[in-house]
Amino acid sequence: MKKIGFIGLGIMGKPMAKNLLKAGYSLTVYDINSAAASEVAGCGAAKAETIADVVKNSDVILTMLPNSPHVKEVVLGNGGILENASEGQIFVDMSSIDPTVSKELAAALAKKGIKMLDAPVSGGEPKAVDGTLSFMVGGDEDVFNEVKGILGFMGASVVLVGEVGSGNVTKLANQIIVALNIAAVSEAMVFVKKAGVDPEKVYKAIRGGLAGSTVMDAKVPLALERNFKPGFRIELHIKDLQNALDTGGAVNMPLPMTAQVMQILQALKALGKEKNDHGDIIEYFEKLGDITIA
C-alpha cells in the first residue's frame, strides 16, 4: 500500500485525511496550523514538522490548499515539493485553483520525473466528512489509475476529464453552476415570501420537480433556520469565480451571469459576511425585498 503525504488540513482537508486513515493508509500530515496537524495525528497519522518531511516519507503527495499562490509556494518555494521530491513520486493537487497554474506546476515537476494530477473536489464539508466528494481529475490516465483507489476513499465519484488543468476547468464550471443555482433559489424564495406564500411549503412543493436540485435541498433548509455556518465560505466562492472570470477572459469566453453573481458575493463581503456559507447569498435578496424568509 502506498504511503501518503497530506498537506493542508482545513475545513475540507482534515476530514479527508481522517478518511484515508480509516481506510488503513500510512499517512504523514502537515499544516501551518499545528493544532490541525496534531488532531489528525491523534487519529493515527505521523505529524511532519516541514513539507520536506512529508515528501520524503510519501509515495503520493496530496495537497488541499486555499488558492493558486498557496499551492505554488508549497510546490515551488524553498523547502517545497519540487526541491525535495524524486523521480517516480506522484503529486495530486486537490485544491481549486487557476488551471494555468496547474499546467505550470505539472511542467516544472515533469522535468524532475514527478507525475502530477489536478483533482479538485465538489461537495463541501459534509461530503468531505462522509467520504462522498466528487473528484474532477486532470492528467495522464496511467497516473490516474495509480491513485484512483486512494481518491475513492474520500469520494463517491472520481472521474478523469482530460489532461492536467482539465480538473480545475471542470471545477470552475461546477462553481459557476452552484453559484448561479444558489442565487436563483434565493431570489425565488424571497419572491414567494414577498408575495405572501410560505417559502418552506413552496420548497416542498417544487423540490421533486424540474426545479429541484442538490443545491436547493442543501441550502433552503439552512436558510430557513438562518444557519450560515460555513460548509463553503463566501470568500472561497469569490476566489473560484474570479478564477473562472480570469480563465474566461483567457479563452475569450464572456461569463455575464457569473459576473453578476460575483457582484452579489462582493456585496456580501463588503457587509462583513465573507466567512459565512455561500448559502448566505439569500441575504442579498432579502435586503432587496426588505423581508426575510424565516
Which residues participate in catalysis according to the annotation? 171
CA distances from 61 to 29, 48, 205, 245, 292 (A): 10, 13, 46, 29, 46
Grid cell 457587509 in the structure block, residue: 271
CA distance 187 to 196: 15
CA distance 63 to 20: 13
Sequence-distant (≥ 6) Cβ neighbours of residue 110 within 8 angstroms: 116
CA angle, 215 then 67 then 261, to 5°? 40
Asked whether the beta carbons of 214 and 124 are under 8 A apart, the reply is no
Count Cβ atoms within 10 A of the Cβ of residue 70 and give its class: 0-12 exposed, 13-18 middle, 19 or more buried: middle
Cell numbers at residue 212, please?
A: 429541484
